[in-house]
Structure 1
């Protein structure tokens, strides 16, 4: 998991190759299994197989950082109800889905379609899917040129995202090592986030970790980022014996250093 996370790359270039029938069936089975893990309460995954039509319709309107990703398939994440819990749960299981897809040698990439007109989405994805906020591009990755060095995103250090007791109070690496959390926080820094803003912060309080999301300059948070980081924290935590689950919080925002943070969840160590 740590190696996967450190080397995790979203696929931006896909082959036009169609899925083998047995692979398509496996993908649909993964959809079903993940939906059933949460008793089919919060979301549905939908496989859109007319990739060319979707790309042409959304090109220039949606995508990763404004660039639409062309792929032979797209996965829709349809919420059954728009609540904070359903958004966080859906993104948690979407990231788990993308991890499982790599085992089928399939590439994937998040695509933001929240700003696309609902009438356009209804026309392209179907009336029942006009409220979908995110798609996932899906397919076989194109081979990468070994002579071209890929750009890498800078990452915050552990001291920039982990605090003791309260925001702004740095935690020592020695303390994280003594509690067996140093590797977890080293690798969690490589988790993906919207526009790679890394908005998550962690506060270690006694026997629990509090997760906070930093508001953007526009005064918004993207709860999809919360679900993603919760998934990787849980997966990495299991490696070192942490067996608990995240519990969502409903607390007032925290002001620190001219920024605002939303408490999202707590994890008992």
Structure 2
């Protein structure tokens, strides 16, 4: 399925059937994550599949979930990672890639936050020094008549709100995007999910590079959101015939050159 078509259909699923997912389907999802190169100069991650969903759900109430509410699912996916520069962005990128693969296989998923990592490690039996970076529910979505419809997409920023031209604060119009062949790419990039629909990202377009900034992280999951939007931009660009890749080694003076304010973090830039 074409990436643009897939992300238009992406939804967060919080109601699941109790029946387990076929091992073959789970393996396809896991393979999508395990074969991904990531975006931070090497994988350095492990992907865990949690089969006993009901038991984990009962134990994690109040310790993980979505807005403090644990989501019951037959299975869960967990990413653990070594700590290195951009390790959270890398984990967000890989987990969202697995969510997209799940959607392709007609499975539902939901990002979950980790409020108490120590307890989660104990419950899941995770040892070692790797950090738990990403956590998601996975299963067959349940659309019973007594369930509320949670499938509508949240509102998104307009195209003219998401990007600046050449320097922070300099407006980028629809005509500017169209002249550079970026309209479709940014249209689909803005559909990227973020925690609480915060949409913490904004871009700066300059010649052969497109810079990504996010709000200074009040909490670490903003950096997961950055990894997610990097995946959406990359896939949208490749779909639209614009090859390139993300560069995360940023020159020290780049933030000053582009006038990026102190309350923003410069994550990296997409090199065309």
TM-score normalised per structure 1: 0.87
User: SS where residue 34 of structure 1 aligns?
Assistant: coil
Residue equivalent to 1:199: 200
Residue equivalent to 2:163: 162
> CA 1:214 to 1:55, structure 2 compared with 1: closer, same or farther past 3 Å?
same
Matched, 1:266 2:269: yes
Residue equivalent to 1:244: 244
User: SS where residue 77 of structure 1 aligns?
Assistant: strand
Contact 1:214 1:259 in 2 (8 A): no
* Partners of 1:48 and 1:147 in 2: CA distance: 25
Using the TM superposition, give the Cα deviation of residue 146 of structure 1 relative to its aligned residue in structure 2, in angstroms: 11
* Partners of 1:121 and 1:147 in 2: CA distance: 28
* Partners of 1:209 and 1:257 in 2: CA distance: 13
Contact 1:23 1:104 in 2 (8 A): yes
Using the TM superposition, give the Cα deviation of residue 171 of structure 1 relative to its aligned residue in structure 2, in angstroms: 0.9
Matched, 1:135 2:138: no
Using the TM superposition, give the Cα deviation of residue 37 of structure 1 relative to its aligned residue in structure 2, in angstroms: 9.9
Output the aligned Cα RMSD: 2.9
Using the TM superposition, give the Cα deviation of residue 18 of structure 1 relative to its aligned residue in structure 2, in angstroms: 0.9
Residue equivalent to 1:229: 229
State the aligned residue count.
265
TM-score normalised per structure 2: 0.86
* Partners of 1:247 and 1:54 in 2: CA distance: 38
User: SS where residue 89 of structure 1 aligns?
Assistant: helix
> CA 1:235 to 1:19, structure 2 compared with 1: closer, same or farther past 3 Å?
same
Matched, 1:104 2:105: yes
> CA 1:35 to 1:126, structure 2 compared with 1: closer, same or farther past 3 Å?
farther
Residue equivalent to 1:182: 183
Structure 2 spans left out of the alignment, 5+ residues = none
Using the TM superposition, give the Cα deviation of residue 219 of structure 1 relative to its aligned residue in structure 2, in angstroms: 7.6
* Partners of 1:20 and 1:147 in 2: CA distance: 24
User: SS where residue 133 of structure 1 aligns?
Assistant: strand
Contact 1:215 1:221 in 2 (8 A): no
Residue equivalent to 2:31: 29
